[in-house]
Structure 1
Amino acid sequence: MTDIKTRFSAVQRLLHWLMAIGILAMLFIGVGMVSTIGRQYVPLLITHKTLGIAILVLALVRLLVRFVSGAPALPADLPEPMRLAAHLSHVGLYALMIGMPLIGWAMMSAAAYPIVLFGGIRLPPILPQSASLHTMLWSAHFYLAFAFFALVMVHLAAALFHGLVRRDGVLQTMLSGK
């Protein structure tokens, strides 16, 4: 008898919601960080870097767990364009969850800024110092943050569409309880 997976595992749901909170916090901290030159800048920067590395680690763990545990199938009656959109949006989300922290780390490395996290944890630079590379990476990080926010909003809209309009069980696969 085949066991059909109808929900994400408890670990997958926990990782999803922890990361959702972290990513939203990260986006708003980033906005606050680039809009201030006051004394709040340094604590925001340290929080942003620490949260970015935490999201990178959690995204890698999440990918491993998804590879091992799998995912529930999409509804059989879901139109092919929606299936493709779901697949591509998840690829984009994972690419940004992994890519944004790496770009930020590379950007700080290229500027020769120390990468110091909460608790005084120091990360090694991953690129040599280069002003032009720093500028390019800063622009990439800045504009990809807007793309990330937009993709998160599309993801949220799709979840609500499945939960409130289609009522096809897709939203429930990531919620606890019945």
Structure 2
Amino acid sequence: DKMPFKPPERAFCPKCNQAVYAAEERIGAGKKWHKQCFKCGLCNKGLDSTTVAEHEGLVYCKGCHGKKFGPKGYGFGGGAGALSMETGSQFGNKESEMSNRPTEAVIGEKSGPGPHCPRCLRTVYDAERAIGLNDAWHKSCCCCKECRKPLDASTLSRHEVEIYCKGCYAKHFGPHGYGVGSLAK
């Protein structure tokens, strides 16, 4: 008696209900998703293994997850510029695509507990922290303020609280005068 061949069960994406093949899968909330479907359930930002947070079988970016399900009360976002988390209304209604995003008044304000990135002032979680720096920077923020070139501990130059690549630093803060211009190229 031979056992009949049974093909492997296919996984279906929770967002679009289409089959997910290994080459295109992303895993979150114990399910397989298409790369293009693996987005935050609130702000629609694309996710990866370092930015995904799960809640009751759904996936969110860490920022939205913290705002919707994080601690509430004194000391947790009650200060100036923080989003109110009491009603959750900024997440529940989808009247406009921008309704669940922080307003410009919020950008630049400190958010959440823990170390804050010197550039964007938002909480830096271990999974998104730039490696090798004494202070906490997001990997995405760890770039030259001028030309946006990605930086690491060995390629950055500091000026006050900002970081620059060696070329932009020399151009703006290095010595000026005859015979020095070649440093900024």
Structure with the largest fraction of helix: 1
- Which structure is higher in strand share? 2
Larger Rg: 1 or 2?
Answer: 2
Q: TM-score range by the shorter chain?
A: under 0.3
* TM-score between the two structures when normalised by the length of structure 2: 0.23
Task: State the TM-score, normalizing by the size of structure 1.
Answer: 0.24
